[in-house]
Amino acid sequence: MPSGPSTSGVGRVIAGRYLLLNQLGSGGMGHVWLAHDQRLACEVALKEIVFRDPSEAGHEREARVARARAEARHAAGLRGHPHVVTVHDVLEHDGLPWIVMEYVPGAVDLRELIARRGPLAPAECARIGLAVLDALTAGHERGVMHRDVKPANILLAPDRGGAPYGRVLLTDYGISVQPDAGETRYTLTSVLVGTAGYLAPERATGGSPTPAADLFSLGCTLYHAVEGCGPFERDSHFAEISAVVTEEPRPPVRAGALAPVLAAMLVKEPELRISAAQTETALSQIVTPQADPFTRTQTDLGSQPPWAQPAPPPPSPPAAPPLVTSGGGSRRRTRPRALHSALAGLLGLALAGGGVWYAVAQQPPGGGGGDATASPYGTDVGLGRALRDGDCVTVDWPGGVPFQGTPQVALDAQCGGPPDGQVMAFVAAASAAEARDRGPARCEEVTQEIRGKLADVRGLALVPTAQGFTASGRRTACLVVGAHGPVYGPLGGHRKPGTKFLDVSSMQKRDCLEVRSNRDARLVSCAGPHDEEVLGFTRLAQDVTLEEAGAEAADLACGKDVAPGEYGFDPSVYRAGSWTSEGPWKAGTHFVVCTVRKQNGGTMEGDGS
* DSSP conformational letter for 256: G
Do strands 42-49 and 87-93 pair parallel, antiparallel, or not at all (unpaired)? unpaired
Please, what sign has the CA dihedral across residues 183, 184, 185, 190? positive
Give φ, ψ of 507 to 5 degrees. Answer: -75, 140
Please, what sign has the CA dihedral across residues 316, 322, 323, 327? negative
DSSP symbols for 349-376: --SSS-SEEETTTTSPTTTT-S-TTT-T
CA distances from 8 to 20, 73, 337 (A): 10, 28, 38
Candidate list 109, 148, 503, 555, residue with the active-site label:
148
Residue 94 is a catalytic residue: no
Taking a C-beta distance cutoff of 8 angstroms, is the pair 384, 391 a contact?
no
- Which of 342, 314, 323 lies closest to 503, judged by CA? 323
- Tell me how crowded residue 407 is: count the other CB atoms within 10 A of its CB: 25
Residue 507 identity (one-letter amino acid): M
**What is the spatial distance between Cα 350 and Cα 480, in angstroms, rounded to a whole number?**
13
Residues 6+ apart with CB under 8 A from 560: none
CA 137, 142, 148: angle at the middle one, nearest 5? Answer: 60
Q: What stretches of 73-143 adopt beta strand conformation (E)?
A: 87-93, 96-102, 108-109
What's 278-290 look like in SS3? Answer: HHHHHHHHHHCCC
Taking a C-beta distance cutoff of 8 angstroms, is the pair 460, 479 a contact?
yes
**What is the spatial distance between Cα 458 and Cα 299, in angstroms, rounded to a whole number?**
14
- Which of 32, 143, 146 lies closest to 83, judged by CA? 146
- Which of 86, 230, 82 lies closest to 152, judged by CA? 230
* DSSP conformational letter for 248: P
Ligand-binding annotation for 47, yes or no, is yes
What's 24-61 look like in SS3? Answer: EEEECCEEEEEEEECCCCEEEEEEEECCCCCCCCHHHH
Catalytic residues: 148
Q: Which residues are annotated as a binding site for ATP?
A: 47
